[in-house]
Chain A
Amino acid sequence: MNYSHAELDPRKAHPFPKAVLPVLRNPQLRKNVAHAIDVIQTKRARLVAEKDDWQELRTAASAIRAHALENLGAYLEQFEERCTAAGGTVHWAADADEARRIILDLLRQEKASEVIKIKTMTSTEIQLNPFLEANGVSAFETDLAEIILQLGGEEPSHIVVPALHVNRSQVREIFARRMGLKNLSDDPKELTNAARTYLRQKFLAIPTAISGANFLIAETGSVAVVESEGNGRMCLTLPRTMITLAGIEKVLPRFQDLEVMLQLLARSATGERMNPYTSLWTGVTAGDGPQSFHVVLLDNERSSILAKAKQRQTLKCIRCAACMNACPVYRQTGGHAYGSVYPGPIGAILTPQLMQMKFAQSLPYASSLCGACYEVCPVKINIPDVLLELRAQVVNQERGRAARYFDPMYVGLRIANLLFSSARLFHAAQRLGRIGLGLFTRKDGWIHSLPSIGAKWTQTRDLRGLPDESFHEWWAKRGPQPDKEAK
């Protein structure tokens, strides 16, 4: 498996066109990805078809999320006030570093050397686990996929089914080795049971837990966590202390807004009408669950994205992964190639923005702009629009660099622009092109091999040679008279 050392740090990841190469050459991985996607897509399609008001739900969800973002300050303050009144403590982290320190300080106050975790991508975004390990705290993942990845030393490749690139015999090998279970078969039921037993001990013994949040409810100061396995319920019920890490964009105005979100989320993410368990809690409840509850609100560039009107919609995301299940690029590459905890179409726009456009500049180009993502996004994020906006920003960065003159794409497009500015220049270029490309054109009228960027085309495709006469030349000869012979 090539991925054990894949780093999901956008600062260190290979550019997308390079990162995909080992994936594209891995039939097993491509098959696993396609299979996982097909399962979800088939289920999703059936459920969406049975829902008469699917489009109306999307419209409502998009509007609710947009409204929440437009008034984010007010709703966050309301959340803080209500959560605090209910016995929770709200912390504000300006960046990843601060979030990590706040969490570590809380753990130190608890004298915690171990912590159980419900899957949260936000914690991977801030690279929490390695930081905690380095500071003497062991963080145990409790989602089945996350345990597979953690025990196997792997990185997630999908936001809802993170271990979809790992097959059953690989899981068996990891569990047998790390859980010390010699006679384990590769039957998924037995593997799941092994995980159940292994984790039960941890749930009952470790008094501190870290979660993410699917939604923060401003009206009530509540947190909602959506899950399938029950490890979430374990982590947020059994421990003494609960720490929830949430991006500031997760807030919904009112409890009632869940009636829209919950209908969309499970259908989009896993192709179910409703996921098995959704939990909502508010601050601290005497006698029930953790008696010490902390929310760490994370900015980490979200407020910068919020400031850009064209890009703000990126923050509407509810992390359902419908976009990556629909994406024909993701289908071939899986998630690792994006070099980020957020892969796929949403990752292609979110990751570079979280990096202040200083890294991951290849990601906005990791798309053919087919629009399938926008079509399925439950909150109607116009991902293609944001991709185009980010591409313009990447190019504008390039305009300031001398190296641009050595980039054939840059030079080619600048020249093309000049040519398109005048019919005379355009036509002259066509005639020159006919001659130039004629050198590469074989007897059958096709080009098999080109130099420079052209080679990128001809590595897998032929190109028909330029015809002797362009359309406009034909028209000029014919003139605007109907050609009677042609009828």
Chain B
Amino acid sequence: MRASLFITCYNDTLYPETGRAVVRLLERLGVEVDFHPQQTCCGQMHANTGFRGEAFSQAKRFVRLYQETETVVIPSSSCVAMMRDQYPGLFEELGNEELRRQFAALLPRVYELSEFLIDRLGVEDVGAYFPHRVTYHASCHGVRALHLGERPYRLLAKVRGLALATLENVDRCCGFGGTFSVKNAEVSSAMLAVKLQDVIATGAEYCTALDNSCLMHLGGAMHRQYAGMKTIHLAEILASTEDAPAEATL
């Protein structure tokens, strides 16, 4: 089984440890991991802010890079949502029939990480060990665009040593929203404050999710407020073992 990792622009730059964890995890599960060095961005930030023409270019680039790829794995539900929800419309609007067809053929081969593990590899127990109290935040794109449902919970349930604390209002938006966090920074912060109350109330050491975007926002506030809690991407929990604990815990 081969899988090509689309790391995403922000993980590449800001959260390389998530990428390292994905590689470690997949190789442990017997997957041969590939990485296309020319990759950059899926175009979500531009599309969501209204810069559609710019998003087109990035979408085209993505399809060209991956049209021959067997399987693409992406540790970011919002980027996968971008491709599933917006790429079809973009290519239709572009009027480029060849690209539209290539993308239509590629799309079924694109997986968010938890989808890849559960649906494609058919595993729930990935052999992980993470002896901490953890709460899980369900990112909006994962819940409503990808309908991930129980997948992340099934994976978390098999992590040895992990105590899962239930998050109240688990699928209420954290307030990140991409450029919303900056264009409407005050509302974003108000939503963050409210969300953080629920997160802190779990008494967990770590808040995890499938998107570092949400975690950057939540974790940034936790750090600012000396909240006594940290964020960690689910991939890093799943990659963590007794011999090789997650980098974040070291």
Q: Touch between A and B in complex, CB under 8 Å?
A: yes
**Interfacial residues, chain B to chain A (CB-CB below 8 A):** 7, 9, 11-20, 23-24, 27-28, 32-35, 37-41, 43, 45-52, 54, 57-58, 61, 86, 140-141, 144-145, 172-173, 175-192, 194, 216-217, 219-221, 223-224, 243-244
A277 at the interface (CB under 8 A from B): no
Question: Which residues of chain B are within 8 angstroms of A476 by Cβ–Cβ distance?
Answer: 37
A58 to chain B, nearest CB (A): 15
Q: Which of A419, A421, A461, A473 contacts B221, CB < 8 Å?
A: A461
Q: Which of A333, A374, A466 contacts B14, CB < 8 Å?
A: A466
A431 to chain B, nearest CB (A): 10
A317 at the interface (CB under 8 A from B): no
A284 to chain B, nearest CB (A): 48
B242 to chain A, nearest CB (A): 11
B40 touches A391 (CB 8 A): no
A368 touches B180 (CB 8 A): yes
A463 at the interface (CB under 8 A from B): yes
- Determine the main DSSP class of B at the interface with A: helix
Instruction: Give B86's nearest chain A residue, CB to CB.
Output: A388
B172 touches A328 (CB 8 A): yes
Q: How far is the CA of A433 from the CA of B144 in the complex (A)?
A: 33
B12 touches A482 (CB 8 A): no
A470 at the interface (CB under 8 A from B): yes
- Determine the main DSSP class of A at the interface with B: helix
B12 touches A480 (CB 8 A): no
Question: Which residues of chain B are within 8 angstroms of A462 by Cβ–Cβ distance?
Answer: 220-221, 223-224
A433 touches B13 (CB 8 A): yes
12 A-B pairs (CB sep. < 8 Å): A16-B184, A17-B187, A329-B187, A332-B191, A365-B184, A372-B144, A372-B173, A392-B51, A396-B50, A413-B45, A460-B189, A460-B224
Known: A329-B187, A467-B16, A474-B20. Is A487-B50 also a contact (CB below 8 A)? no
| Besides A430-B12, A456-B181, A486-B24, 7 new A-B residue pairs in contact (Cβ under 8 A), listed by A number | A17-B187, A333-B190, A393-B50, A457-B181, A461-B224, A470-B12, A471-B11
**Interfacial residues, chain A to chain B (CB-CB below 8 A):** 16-17, 20-21, 24, 328-329, 331-333, 364-372, 374-375, 388, 390-396, 409, 413-414, 416-417, 419-423, 426, 430, 433, 446, 448, 453, 456-457, 459-464, 466-467, 469-476, 480, 482-483, 486-487
B177 touches A369 (CB 8 A): yes
A392 to chain B, nearest CB (A): 4
A368 touches B58 (CB 8 A): no
Q: How far is the CA of A350 from the CA of B86 in the complex (A)?
A: 21
Instruction: Give B12's nearest chain A residue, CB to CB.
Output: A471
Question: Which residues of chain B are within 8 angstroms of A332 by Cβ–Cβ distance?
Answer: 187, 190-191, 194
A417 touches B243 (CB 8 A): no
Instruction: Give A390's nearest chain B residue, CB to CB.
Output: B50
Question: Which residues of chain B are within 8 angstroms of A423 by Cβ–Cβ distance?
Answer: 37-40
A17 touches B34 (CB 8 A): no
Q: How far is the CA of A333 from the CA of B184 in the complex (A)?
A: 12
A-B pairs with lowest CB-CB distance, top 10: A368-B177, A461-B220, A391-B50, A395-B50, A370-B173, A471-B19, A471-B16, A371-B144, A417-B54, A456-B185
A17 touches B186 (CB 8 A): yes
Question: Which residues of chain B are within 8 angstroms of A467 by Cβ–Cβ distance?
Answer: 14, 16-17
Known: A388-B47, A446-B223. Is A457-B35 also a contact (CB below 8 A)? no
A457 touches B182 (CB 8 A): yes
Question: Which residues of chain B are within 8 angstroms of A460 by Cβ–Cβ distance?
Answer: 185, 189, 192, 221, 224
Known: A388-B48, A470-B13, A471-B7. Is A17-B144 also a contact (CB below 8 A)? no
A456 touches B182 (CB 8 A): yes
Question: Which residues of chain B are within 8 angstroms of A463 by Cβ–Cβ distance?
Answer: 216, 220
Instruction: Give B35's nearest chain A residue, CB to CB.
Output: A475
Known: A333-B187, A370-B177. Is A388-B45 also a contact (CB below 8 A)? no
Q: How far is the CA of A417 from the CA of B140 in the complex (A)?
A: 25
Question: Which residues of chain A are within 8 angstroms of B33 by Cβ–Cβ distance?
Answer: 480
Question: Which residues of chain A are within 8 angstroms of B47 by Cβ–Cβ distance?
Answer: 388
A487 touches B28 (CB 8 A): yes
Q: Which of A369, A374, A417, A426 contacts B51, CB < 8 Å?
A: A417
Q: Which of A16, A329, A472 contacts B35, CB < 8 Å?
A: A472
Known: A17-B187, A332-B191, A466-B13. Is A426-B40 also a contact (CB below 8 A)? yes
A470 touches B16 (CB 8 A): yes
Instruction: Give B241's nearest chain A residue, CB to CB.
Output: A487
A387 to chain B, nearest CB (A): 9
Question: Which residues of chain A are within 8 angstroms of B14 by Cβ–Cβ distance?
Answer: 464, 466-467
B182 touches A417 (CB 8 A): no
